[in-house]
Chains A and B, each alone.
Chain A
C-alpha cells in the first residue's frame, strides 16, 4: 500500500518558471490538501479538496493553482515561481470530512523547492 506519493522530492527553479508538484493517494480518500512548511512557522494550508471536482483555498493560496479531476490525484501548480515560494511542501489526505470526522492524516514525504 503506497499511501500518499509526492514528487519530486527536490526541485530548483528560476524566478518565473512554472512547475507542478504531483500528489497521488491509493486509499480512496476524499479529502486532500497541500501545505507549506517554513522555518519558525507551523504548516500552512495552501489549497484543499473534499472530493473530485471540488477545490477551495486555504490560508496562503496566492501563486498556486490546484485541480482535482480524480479521487487519486491532487497536483499543485506554481504558474510563475517566486523566491517567496521557496519552502518545503507537503501533500496530505484523510478519509474523514468535517461531517464524518473519522480521518487519520496521511502525509507525503515532502518536496523541497528552491526558487532562485
Chain B
C-alpha cells in the first residue's frame, strides 16, 4: 500500500520567511500533485510534477523520483499563504490518487 507522508504537520512562520513542506511516498508514481486548501474549505491545484522542478510566482515545487520525495517551497511568505497544503500521488499505471494528511501553515504578520 502506498503511503504518503507529509512533514511537518503544522508550521507557524513569520511574514517574509522561507517555507519548506516535505512529502515522501513509498511506491513508484506517475505524477505528484501539490494542493492548497483554504480555511473556507475549497481546494485548488498548485502544481503537478512528474520530474524536476516547477515555479509559479513565490511557489516552487521539486521532486526527486529516485528518493521518492517532493518539496514545496514558499519564498517571502505572507499571511494570505496560511492554508493547508496537501500532497497527492498517482501510482504508476493506476488511476487512483493517494493523499497525505496535509500540512497546516500559519503565517503571522
Contact = CB atoms under 8 A, between A and B. Distances in A.
Interface of A: 31, 33, 35, 40-45, 48, 50, 56, 58-59, 88, 90, 92, 96-98, 101, 103-107, 109-110
Given A43-B88, A88-B41, A98-B30, A48 B96 contact: yes
Interface of B: 4, 30-31, 33, 35, 41-45, 48, 50, 86, 88, 90, 92-102
A101 B89 CA distance: 12
A105 B45 contact: yes
Contacts of B44: 107
A98 B93 contact: yes
Interface of chain B: mostly helix, strand, loop or mixed = strand
Given A42-B4, A88-B41, A101 B30 contact: yes
Contact of A43 (B41, B86, B90): B86
Nearest to A9: B41
A33 B43 contact: no
Contacts of A59: 96
A53 to B, nearest CB: 15
A110 B42 contact: yes
Nearest to A40: B101
Contacts of A45: 96-98
Listed residue (B86, B93, B99) with the most chain A CB atoms within 10 angstroms of its CB: B99
